[in-house]
Structure formats: C-alpha cells, structure tokens
Structure 1
Amino acid sequence: MKVVRTVAEGLDSPWGLAPLPGGGLLVSSRDEGTITLVDEKSGKKTELGEVPGVSPAGEGGLLGIAVSPDYASDHMVYAYFTSESDNRVVRMLYDPEKPAGEQLGAPDTILRGIPKGTNHNGGRLAFGPDKMLYATTGERYEGELAQDKKSLGGKILRMTPEGEPAPGNPFDDSPVYSYGHRNVQGLAWDDEQRLWASEFGQDTWDELNHIEPGGNYGWPDVEGKEGEKGYVDPVAQWRVADASPSGIAFAEGSVWMAGLRGERLWRIPLKGTEASADPQAFLTEKYGRLRTVVSAGGDRLWLTTSETDGRGSPESGDDKILELEVK
C-alpha cells in the first residue's frame, strides 16, 4: 500500500465522500453543513451549497452522502444529517448548470425520526448492488435502543430510493435490516455482494462485521467475540485505542478500514465471510485521524483525514483527501 498523491487540502470537517459517475468527488462538511465538489485531478474545490436544517453539535451534523445509482438520469444526491430534533435522510437535485453555491435543490426528507444525540449518530449512507439505500444509525448512548426493533437507533437500515422499507427486508414494513449495533459508520460490499460494516466498541472491542439480514449484533449485551447464542460475532476485532473505525471500502480482496483514534488504515484480507489473515495496519500516526475511505476503482482508494473534527491536532493543509494504491 502506498500514498500516490494528495488530491485536495484545506477541507473543513470532511465526513462523507461520494464520487460522481462523470468525475469529481462530493464531500460533506459535518460542521459547516455544506457539500463541496472536488476536482480529483486539480484539487480545485467548489462549494455547491449549504444543506438547510443541519444542526451540528458533537458528532452530529452533515454526515454521509451518496449519489443515486440512476444519477445519469435523475441527478439526485442523498445526505444523512442531524437536525434540531432527529437524524434524517434527504435527497436533493444537483444542478451543475446553476451558479456555485446554488447548485443543490431543496432537500426532500425521505426518512426522519432516527434518534439523535451529542454522540453516536451513525451517519453512513451507501447504495448497495441491489440499488437500495443503506444507512447506519447509532444508539445515542441508550443501549436498549439497539435491541428495540421498533426504534431506528442502533441499526443498519435498508430502504428504497424514496425512503420506503425495501422489498425483502427481514421485518415486516420496517427499514431495519440488522440490529444490536452501538455506532456503525462504515459500509462496503465485497465482490460477491456481501455486506460488511465497521462498528465502534465502548471500552473494549471495535468490530468488523459481516452483515446478515435480521442479524442481532449484540450491543449492549455483547461486545466483541463472545460466542453468545443468538448474537452474530464479529469477523475481526480491535482494541478501541487501535481503531475507533469510521469508513470502510473493499478493494483487492480486502476490506480497508479507516481509524480515527487509532490514526491508521487497517487491511483485513477476506476469504468468503471470514478473515483470511490477521489485519495489517498502514499509515500509523502519519496523517492523524482517518475518517472515510472509498473505492476509486481497481487498486485505488480515496481516503480522507479528520483532524479538524474537534478531536484532532490540525496541521497546515488539513483536512486532506489522499489517493492510495493498494496492490
């Protein structure tokens, strides 16, 4: 693994990163509530606009973003954000022909009522190979929400692009896809279309999980690999000081996992639904806190730093987008 280049610098609290089909990277600013277009060749940044209704505080704000799988025809961009009352998912029309700063249409709320807190707001958004929209939520420090299938907190949700419960979901008329999560911030699919998720532990174990429909991932009853009947054990686990994982991506047969507190990028080689070797750490304490990692196609990844999120030690140029080669 090597860093090929620094794609862009000077980003404020970057959180979500979504490549556009025709080129360009959309980046959300958690604290500013804005979405910026980054030219991945020149590094030029163009602010598209501010998302109305975002109420940043603690770990909340404008979090994950995703581009519609039908973007060529509908030009829709999706966002997950913390409002004054809840976390919600919205979609907006992106019109690049309008003046900079005015290119985002009014947000259409497709899902509301996700519990919010100062911390543990989840926030990752991603479209799966099935063209359904997946969202990760946290339990805002109320562990019992994670086991309550009627609550949207502490879950991975699966919905249609219109925000309805997706066909084939495990629980009737519910967007809940898996439960028993503390705070998931990473989603990725492997080349066999299996879903993987990273999860923050409390004091002991961070996790990488293979996600099964209807699976109970144990929180708050279980943390890490405990072999308890009725709960799904993680595929890999880390001490929280070594990881505190946010985004993940799949490339070259491995899941790549960005660590915040751990300030490193983890590689977890896979064989089927198991790890085929011990996880390997890269970039340890070289770029500070790492937030989001996204496939750039083939053996390339985009990786964002997270030094301006209030918990880092920003240096000149922070925050950055890096291009990695992961052969």
Structure 2
Amino acid sequence: MGAVWAAVVLVLVTGCSAGGSGSPSPPATEPGTAAAPSRSAPAAVRVAGTLTEDLESPWGLAALPGGDLLVASRDQRTITRVDARTGRKTPLGEVPGVVPGGEGGLLGLAVRDGRVYAYFTAESDNRIVRMAYGGGDADRLGAPEVVLSGIPKGNVHNGGRIAFGPDGMLYAGTGERGETGLAQSVESLGGKILRMTPEGKPAPGNPFAGSVVYSYGHRNVQGLAWDADGRLWAAEFGQNTWDELNLIQPGKNYGWPKVEGSSDVSDFVNPVAQWKTSEASPSGIAYAEGAIWMAGLRGERLWRIPLSGAERAGDPQAFLVEEHGRLRTVLAAGDGRLWLTTSETDTRGTPGPGDDKILRLEVR
C-alpha cells in the first residue's frame, strides 16, 4: 500500500512549562504547501487480521491488564469485553444514565485499578463515571460513581476521549457543543483538555488554581496520547479548513474560535501539524514505534506522524486510504502492534458486511 503525502504545516512549539515566556515560532511552511520528503526509513502498515466484527457504533476502546479489550457502543449504551486472541465478545451490560443523540452517547473508556472509567452524554451534561470491574468472564460492571459532571453537552462537539497519563492523572478531551465562546472561557469545561485525580479533583500542579482545566481554546478534542518522553499530544477537529495535531502545554491557549490551524497571533499555540478536514477529521490517536498514529473519520485513513527528539514532527504519511471506511479509535498494543476500530455504523458511514470491526495492525 502506497504512502500518501499530505499537505501539512510543521511548526516549532515552545517549552512545556506553564507560564513560559515566548510564542510559537512561525510555520516552517505556509498552510497548504507540501512538506519536503522525509529522510527517515520508510514506514509500513500491515492489516494482520480482523479481531472481531458486527459491532454497533463502537467508540471507546481500552485494554484490560491481561490484554483483552473493552469496547463501548455509543448508541447502544453498552460495554463489551473482547478476547484479544479469539475475538469472542462478552457483553458486560448497559451503562445507566447514557442519553445517545447526534454525536453524544457512550464515548471514551479507560481502565485503572480494577475500575472502568467512562465518558458519556447524560440528560443534562457530559460526565465521567467509574465502575468496579473484576475482569472475569462472569463479572459485570458495578454501579456508576460520578467522577466529574458539568461538561457542556450538545448535538455536536461533545469531545469524549479519556486516558490516564504517565503521571497517574486522568485526562479528558472536551468539545464546545457548537457554542464557540465556551472554548475561550477558562470557567467552562467545554472546549478544553481537563486533568484530574482518579477521583475527579483538580490535579496537583494544574495551571488554574482549583480547576481541572489544563489547556483551552479547543474546538473538539477526541485524541489523546503520550510519547516516549511523556509529552501529551492531542488531535482536534477543525471546522471547514484545518484539522490539527497539537503538543499540549499546561495553561496555554490553542486559539479556537479566533483561529483555525496556524496563525501569527503570539497569544495562541500553533498546531504541530494540520490537514484539510477532507483528509482527516481525526478522532483517536496512539503513540507507537516513534510516531503518533491518527485515525481519520471523513478522511478514511490512518495517519502516521513521526516524532523527533525535539518538539516537532516529521512528514505525515497516510495508510489504508479508503480501504476500511471511517476509522474511529486507534490503541497501541505493544511490539509494533495497533488495534484499530472502524466507524461505519455511526449514522455517517456506509456499513458493509461485518461492520463495524476491530482490526489488528502491524506497523513500523
């Protein structure tokens, strides 16, 4: 499968400390211009097989300690355990309080210390809950305990990705529900990346005292991943022009709705890479083999963005272009392997036989 080179913008990003002085450097290329070919070794992606299929609106995906997977159905409100060797599916039940609609429903999942964390759209808000889960075939999810509530909900832009960082804190990407002004207000939880303790309290060292807000000025964050140096990366949906990959710095402003993509406004952090929305519409991302891997919904492709030791990225490459339809979530599985979910049953795709699926990938 050939690599497709995208039009990107690569920028140097300022240091990661909160309150650091200086502004992002200007783009290395003008928006929309082609980057120079990478000098790194050619990348490769192989679909090693289909783990399971016939999933309904899969969204969140998380690995259990033994390697098996949990997958959330956005519209069915359910969580299913998938055997990582055989693909056998074990329903774990419906999560109470989920109210699907539009882009909302049962969204991101994370696993920590015998509990399953879920981000979902409720009657009045988006919220994060946690449920006890022992992990055995006969086990079922415990009653949900609210970790954080009050995240703005809407028919669109609900964010939804959650993940535990290397610091043991819980991070969440949120959207501004289509009310763009929320992104610039640090008083709102919409259009943000949030950082909290596993109990939902503001994490130590957060940039805004007494707040779970970690960064702001986001439109709709759905991809979170940390690289080998512990740096946080986030994928963000653009409106009509530029989707973004951002290197997240605490307390920084990423510009929405005042800018989309790169700008020369010193108050805003520029994306490290950007794509036309027709080529990406990114949801999940993962870090593996020295690169960020980004699943594209509208773009129907898997992007690889190689990372250097400095705060910049190499030339993105596209794989699986229009081969498996809309791609929602990518999860690192270790040893050059990824799990990848399709998203054809999310009301915007064109389902085919077996949709939706979890694919096994081998990458380098």
| Alignment TM class, shorter chain as reference | over 0.9
- SS state of the match for residue 146, structure 1? helix
In the TM superposition, what are the counterparts of 1:247-326 in structure 2 within 5 Å? 247-271=284-308, 272-276=310-314, 278-326=315-363
Would you say 1:60 and 2:109 are equivalent positions? no
Q: After superposition, where does 1:180-195 map in structure 2 within 5 Å?
A: 180-195=217-232
The code of the aligned residue for 1:6 comes to T
Shift of 1:253: 0.8
How far does residue 99 in structure 1 lie from its aligned partner after superposition? 4.1
Question: Given residue 175 of structure 1, which amino acid in structure 2 is its aligned partner?
Answer: V
Cα distance in 2 for partners of 1:42, 1:119 equals 35
Shift of 1:298: 2.3
**Contact in 1 for aligned 2:90/2:137 (Cα 8 Å):** no
CA–CA distance in 2 between the matches of 1:250 and 1:96? Answer: 25
Match of 2:73 among 17, 29, 32: 29
Partner of 1:8: 52
Q: Which has the higher contact order (CA 8 A, sep 6+)?
A: 2
* Post-superposition offset of 1:258: 0.2
CA distance in 2, matches of 1:96, 1:298: 24
- Where does residue 47 of structure 1 map in the other structure? 91
Q: 2:62 aligns with which of 18, 34, 38?
A: 18
Q: TM-score, normalised by structure 2?
A: 0.87
2:190 counterpart residue number: 153
For residue 318 of structure 2, what is the amino acid of its counterpart?
A: A
Q: Does 1:125 align with 2:169?
A: no
Unpaired runs of 5+ in structure 1?
none
> What is the alpha-carbon distance in structure 2 between the residues aligned to residue 275 and residue 23 of structure 1?
30
* Distance (whole Å) between structure 2 residues aligned to residue 150 and residue 182 of structure 1: 16
The CA deviation at 1:273 is 1.8
For residues 90-132 of structure 1, the C-alpha deviation after alignment (integer angstroms, 9 at most, x for no partner) is 00001345746xx010000010000000010000000000000
> What is the rounded CA distance, in whole Å, between the counterparts of 1:311 and 1:217 in structure 2?
28
Q: 1:200 aligns with which of 202, 221, 237?
A: 237
Q: Distance in 2 between matches of 1:88 and 1:209?
A: 24
Q: Amino acid of the residue matched to residue 102 of structure 2? A: G
Pick the aligned partner of 2:141 from 89, 104, 108: 104
Q: 2:116 aligns with which of 67, 77, 81?
A: 77
SS of the aligned residue for 1:130 comes to: coil
Q: What letter is aligned with 1:94?
A: Y
C-alpha distance in 1 between matches for 2:262 and 2:59: 29
Distance in 2 separating the partners of 1:154 and 1:301: 28
The separation in 1 between residues aligned to 2:300 and 2:102, in whole angstroms, is 19
User: Residues of 2 paired with 1:59 and 1:96: CA distance?
Assistant: 29
- Equivalents in 2 of 1:284, 1:181: separation in Å? 27
RMSD: 0.9
- Partner Cα separation in structure 2 for residue 239 and residue 218 of structure 1: 17
Counterpart contact for 1:86–1:114, Cα < 8 Å: yes
Q: How many residues align?
A: 319
Structure 2 distance, partners of 1:300, 1:78, is 24
CA contact (8 A) 1:8 1:40 kept: no
Q: Which residue of 1 aligns with 2:5?
A: none
AA matched with 1:58: G
Measured against aligned partners, the alpha-carbon deviations of 1:139-164 in whole angstroms (never above 9, x if no partner) come to 01111100000000000000000000
Residue of structure 1 equivalent to 2:247: 210
Identity %: 70
Q: Look up the match of 1:93.
A: 132
State how far apart, in whole Å, the 2-side matches of 1:166 and 1:143 are.
26
TM-score w.r.t. structure 1 length?
A: 0.96
Q: What secondary structure, in the 3-state scheme, does the structure 2 residue paired with 1:178 have?
A: strand
Give the gaps of 5 or more residues in structure 2: 1-44
Distance of aligned partners of 1:96 and 1:192 in 2 relative to their CA distance in 1, 3 Å threshold: closer
